[in-house]
Amino acid sequence: MSDKRPITFDRVIRVLVGLAITAVCVWLIDILKDVLLPFCVACLLSYLLEPVVEFQQQHLRLRHRVIPVFLTLIEAGIVFGGLAYFFIPSAIDEITQLDTIVKSSSSKDLTSAFLPPEVHEYFQRYLSFENLTQYLSGSRLEAVLNKSTTALTATIDFLMHTIEWLMTFIYVIFILLDYKRLMRGFRLIVPPKYRAKAYPVLDDIKDNMDRYFRSQAVIAACAAVFYCIGFSIIGLPLAIVMGIMVGILYMIPYFQYVTLIPVIILCYIYSMTGACEFWPELGKCVAVYVVSQCICDYLLTPKIMGKTLGLNPAIILLSLSIWGTLLGIIGMIIALPLTALLIAYYKQYVLAPDTSVPKETNQ
Chain Cα centroid distance, residue 222:
15
pLDDT reported for residue 275: 76
pLDDT at 136: 42
pLDDT the model gives residue 152: 60
* Average pLDDT score over residue span 231-248: 90
CB 306 within 8 Å of CB 211:
yes
Rounded to whole angstroms, the Cα distance separating 43 from 167 reads 12
Q: Which is higher by pLDDT, 355 or 272?
A: 272
- The alpha carbon of 355 is separated from its chain's Cα centroid by a whole number of angstroms, namely 42
Q: What is the tens place of the pLDDT at every residue in 30-50?
A: 787 777 778 888 888 888 888
This prediction has a pTM of 0.68
What are the pLDDT digits (tens) for 127-164? Answer: 554 554 554 444 444 444 454 445 566 666 666 667 77
Three-state DSSP class for residue 188: helix
pLDDT digits (tens, 9 = 90+) for 53-84: 999 999 888 888 999 999 999 999 999 898 88
Pairwise CA distance, residues 76 & 67, whole Å: 14
Name the residue with higher pLDDT: 333 or 13: 13
Residues 6 or more apart whose Cβ sits within 8 Å of residue 14: none
Report the pLDDT value the prediction gives residue 210, as an integer from 0 to 100.
74
Distances (CA, A) of 338 to 254, 262, 349: 17, 31, 16
